[in-house]
Amino acid sequence: MFRSLTIKNLAKNQIGLMRQPTNTRPVVRLVEENGVQGVVKEFSGNGFVYRNTIGRFLVWREGQAYQRLKGVKGIPVLFRKVDGLALVISKVPGKNLEHLSGEERPDLDFFQKLARLIQECHERGVAHCDLKRSANTMIDEFGRPYIVDWSAAITDREFCVYPLTATYKMFVEDDLKAVTKLKLHFCPESITDEERRKYAQMGRGECAIRAIRDFARKCLQKIA
Ligand SMILES: Nc1ncnc2c1ncn2[C@@H]1O[C@H](COP(=O)(O)OP(=O)(O)OP(=O)(O)O)[C@@H](O)[C@H]1O
Ligand SMILES: [Mg+2]
């Protein structure tokens, strides 16, 4: 699929621009071939050093995650990589949760399905690590969940030796806490006291996760 795409002709072949690039983020384009729509995340417009270091690394990481999650319903299909600088994945037929209008509120059933989807990814040995950003979760017209943006994902194989096993477990728990965070925003009435209590507890692990994320973000901005 999408074999004719090259880094040079990507912009010309897009049928829509889904998101402009920033200094640290890739451009997100909509493409189409033989009636199939794909989404391209592409770093070729970012600064030379950034795109050839972080950009290539993020494309490689995200590609690995999609390969490991192949066949999981609710996760885009990886069609191909273009020159190590872009990923072409299947288009999710829905909206990200950040783009929902005020009246559009995913219900409890959606969040139960989302939690099951996250667990299915964990069973494949992949933790997403950035699900607290609501823009990485999407919903279709039937209320089914999808998860995009696997560039920060980690795998159980990489974290298979103690104490890394404990770190991996922390990220797995953090993925599931993200569901509570989204529920607090979209349907707070469905949250049980137990969930509220668990969510309010911020252990040392969570502090560490935040510190790692903040540090990584600052580094990326410096390199860009
Ligand atoms: N496969 C897809 N199908 C439909 N829309 C998608 C798809 N992948 C990404 N998008 C849209 O593009 C947006 C940006 O994509 P993504 O989150 O992967 O980019 P990013 O630069 O890694 O993320 P961030 O903005 O979180 O740093 C998503 O929030 C979603 O709205
Ligand atoms: Mg994102």
CB 155 within 8 A of CB 161: no
Whether the pLDDT of residue 89 is over 70: the answer is yes
Mention every residue, 6+ apart, whose C-beta is less than 8 A from residue 194.
none
d(CA 152, CA 48): 21
Ligand 1 pocket at CB < 6 A: 18-19, 25-26, 28, 39, 41, 76, 89, 91-92, 96, 133, 135-136, 148-149, 151
**66: its two tokens:** 């999609």
Whether the pLDDT of residue 40 is over 80: the answer is yes
Give residue 219's pLDDT band: very low, low, confident or very high (50, 70, 90): confident
CB 172 within 8 A of CB 107: no
CB 76 within 8 A of CB 90: yes
Mean pLDDT of 77-90: 97
Residue 148 CA to ligand 1 centre (angstroms): 6
Q: Which atom of ligand 1 is nearest to the CA of 150?
A: 18
Q: Which ligand is located closest to the Cα atom of residue 43?
A: 1
The residue assigned the tokens 């059933």 is 109
CB 40 within 8 A of CB 14: yes
Residue 92 CA to ligand 1 centre (angstroms): 10
Residue 45 CA to ligand 1 centre (angstroms): 16
* Of 111 and 198, the one with more pLDDT: 111
CATH 3.30.200.20 domain position(s) in the chain: 10-90
User: What pLDDT was estimated at residue 217?
Assistant: 79
Percent of the chain with pLDDT over 70: 98
Q: Which atom of ligand 1 is nearest to the CA of 95?
A: 31
Q: Does CATH place domain 94-223 in 1.10.510.10?
A: yes
pTM (2 decimals)? 0.93
Radius of gyration of the chain, Cα coordinates, nearest whole angstrom: 18
Mention every residue, 6+ apart, whose C-beta is less than 8 A from residue 169.
none
CATH 1.10.510.10 domain position(s) in the chain: 94-223
The residue assigned the tokens 């609501």 is 134
Fill in the DSSP letter of residue 65.
H
Residue 216's SS3 state is helix
Q: 98-102, 104-108, 170-174, 198-202 — which is least confidently predicted?
A: 198-202
Which residues hold their Cβ within 5 A of ligand 2, which is an ion? 135-136, 149
Of all helices (H) and strands (E), which one includes residue 140? strand 137-140
Residue 89's SS3 state is strand
CB 108 within 8 A of CB 187: yes
Residue located nearest, by CA, to atom 23 of ligand 1 = 149
* Of 63 and 217, the one with more pLDDT: 63
CB 47 within 8 A of CB 23: yes
- CATH hierarchy code of domain 10-90: 3.30.200.20
